[in-house]
Amino acid sequence: MARKVTKAIFPVAGLGTRFLPATKSVPKEIMTLVDRPLVQYAIDEARAAGITEFIFVTSRGKSALEDYFDHNQILEQSLKEKGKDELLKTLNATNMESGAIAYIRQHKALGLGHAVWCARRLIGDEPFAVMLPDDVIAAEKPCLQQMIEAYEETGGNMVATMEVPPEKTSSYGVLDVGDNIGTAVRARGMVEKPKPEEAPSNLAVIGRYILRPSVLYNLNQNKLGSGGEIQLTDAIAEDIRNGVPVFGYKFDGQRFDCGSKAGFLQATVAFALARDDLREDLQEYLHDVIVTGQAAQ
């Protein structure tokens, strides 16, 4: 049986330049999707999957992210005195207990593989998850929970996968697909951002991983890959070449790319429409906009 996964790495060192000027002072990861920061969706998903240790790989300018997970005793006391119990309950759900969360600095922007490698000493010799908060997944059963349940049967390494249009494979790591095993496929190889005509399939890797510590050993080589960066995909592909099984998990849910403005807006609308307290007003507004074609002036 595969070892239990209790640690997760959250690479959040990026500058968020696609969201300037907002990200000039606000880390992208705490930009609000409806009424929760992006990173809170990832944390809630990780908790549901049994993660108890949370490792954030950050960079300069991310102090607001660290403050977000701290207790705000003044605000908590104010809500308590005013009898706003529901708001207090919501606030308390965002707090992280002492020792549950750790922050590691990535001093050079050398890619996702390098960011994961920065956390190696906190992972040790255990399997671990990697979660990219930019990928927000709406699912009845949280995506990482689905993956961990499957991983307990398969072992090895596991990556979340989804089909993408062939012309978009150059934006993703792509699997060379082997045998189908129910909701998972066994990978013969992985290629980072291949040209459409060179892609081995259209099955793309998105931001959820369950990895063996051997991937960290592969990252120790600090090999530069696509874009002149240290690619996590390359380290996972090295495991395949070393005989370690890698599975692509076809998750049940809808993924939103909140690293792009369009994806962030789509997620905002989708998550708001799923809310009983927002659905009716938003549907009415969207209907009026579509019928009249009137946008903000």
d(CA 43, CA 168): 28
Burial (CB count <10 Å: 0-12, 13-18, 19+), residue 190: buried
Let me know: does 205 contact 233? Beta carbons within 8 Å: yes
The span from the CA of 59 to the CA of 222, in Å, is 19
Cβ neighbours of residue 244 under 8 Å, at least 6 residues apart? 156, 157, 212, 214
> pTM for the full model?
0.88
Calculate the average pLDDT of the chain.
88
Look up residue 31 and give its two tokens: 């930009």
Residue 294 pLDDT greater than 90, yes or no: no
For the segment 24-36, the average pLDDT, to the nearest whole number, is: 88
**Is the Cβ–Cβ distance between 246 and 165 less than 8 Å?**
no
The enclosing H or E element of 180 equals strand 173-181
Name the segment(s) of the chain with CATH classification 3.90.550.10: 7-259
Cβ(50)–Cβ(147) below 8 Å: no
For the record, the structure tokens of 23 come out as 């990200």
Closest CA to 247 of 175, 191, 173: 175
CATH superfamily of 7-259: Spore Coat Polysaccharide Biosynthesis Protein SpsA; Chain A (3.90.550.10)
- Condensed to tens digits (0 to 9), the pLDDT of residues 39-75 reads 999 999 999 999 999 999 988 877 888 888 877 788 8
Which residue in 70, 5, 65 sits closest to 37, CA to CA? 65
* Residue 1 pLDDT exceeds 60: no
| Cα distance from N-terminal residue to C-terminal residue, the chain | 59
Tens of pLDDT, residue by residue over 89-139, are 887 777 777 778 899 998 888 889 999 999 999 998 999 999 999 999 999
pLDDT at 157: 93
The confidence score (pLDDT) of residue 297 equals: 57
Return d(Cα 77, Cα 72) in angstroms, integer: 9
Amino acid in the structure at residue 243: G
Q: Encode pLDDT of 227-270 as tens digits.
A: 677 889 889 989 999 999 999 999 999 999 999 999 999 999 99
3 C-beta neighbours (distance < 10 Å), count:
13
pLDDT band, very low/low/confident/very high, at 273 (cuts 50, 70, 90): very high
